[in-house]
């Protein structure tokens, strides 16, 4: 009986130590664009000017989510090096470049403004805003639940007259469960969701037609 009590006390102590060692402060995650497997490079003489995407999420620029422990209310921000807007803009460029499309970086383009924009050398303009780019992790005793959502409002325009040719709403979301928390899983899910959303832009029939 005494041994059973001692064993229980040891297990409780170990469990308390494990819980006490939970990460404090922001948790760094890595995310990046992932090209589809088997993607082949095409050829196009069209040059696409990509404008920095605006972050309309209303949260700190480098914060992409939260890890929450419902039992205690403890929470950690999930953050990236750089900013959400920087990652989205770079990912759009990579998606185009991996398809053999020439890309030119242009200053901030406001699709609602017909005023001049420095887009010399570009034929098509791409810009837009990030409405949602967020990961939520609930850490429970037996499992962690992951939820990732991406929503981007993209605009495709003509560099000649700055007119908007097409607006696209790019959406992607996913849910998963695991027995323990992993920053790598968060980064992988964010990368997959963002890449899926961007594929909706580059595979849009009207956008692809404009590259001919």
| Entry pTM | 0.85
Of 68-72, 126-130, 151-155, 203-207, which gets the smallest average pLDDT?
Answer: 68-72
pLDDT classification of 21: cutoffs 50, 70, 90: very low
- The share of the chain scoring above pLDDT 70, in percent, equals 87
**Can you read off the two tokens belonging to residue 38?**
């088997």
DSSP per-residue codes, 61-75: TTEEEEEEETTTTEE
Confidence of residue 20 (pLDDT cuts 50, 70, 90): very low
**Residue 46 in contact with residue 99, Cβ under 8 Å?**
no
Pick the CATH number of 27-210 from 3.40.50.10610, 1.10.3720.10, 3.40.50.1820, 2.60.40.3080: 3.40.50.10610
14 pLDDT above the threshold of 50: no
Count the helix, strand and coil residues of the chain and give each as a percent rounded to the nearest 5: 30, 35, 40
How many other C-beta atoms are found inside a 10 Å radius of the C-beta of residue 43? 8
CA angle 63-145-190, nearest 5°? 40
CA distances from 176 to 9, 115, 138, 192 (A): 34, 45, 11, 13
Extents of the domains making up the chain: 27-210
């Amino acid at each position: 009986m005494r041994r059973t009590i001692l064993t229980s006390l040891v297990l409780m102590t170990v469990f308390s130590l494990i819980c006490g060692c939970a990460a404090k402060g922001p948790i760094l995650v890595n995310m990046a664009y992932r090209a589809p497997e088997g993607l082949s490079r095409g050829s196009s003489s069209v040059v696409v000017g990509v404008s920095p995407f605006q972050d309309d999420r209303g949260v700190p620029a480098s914060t992409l989510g939260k890890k929450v422990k419902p039992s205690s209310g403890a929470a950690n921000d999930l953050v990236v090096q750089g900013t959400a807007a920087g990652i989205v803009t770079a990912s759009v460029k990579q998606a185009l470049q991996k398809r053999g499309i020439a890309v030119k970086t242009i200053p901030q383009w406001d699709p609602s403004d017909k005023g001049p924009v420095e887009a010399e050398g570009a034929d098509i303009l791409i810009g837009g805003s990030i409405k949602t780019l967020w990961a939520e992790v609930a850490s429970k005793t037996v499992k962690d639940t992951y939820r990732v959502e991406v929503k981007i409002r993209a605009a495709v325009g003509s560099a000649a007259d700055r007119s908007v040719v097409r607006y696209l709403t790019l959406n992607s979301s996913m849910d998963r469960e695991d027995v323990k928390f992993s920053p790598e899983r968060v980064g992988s899910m964010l990368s997959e969701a963002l890449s899926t959303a961007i594929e909706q832009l580059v595979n849009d029939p009207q956008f692809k037609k404009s590259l001919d």
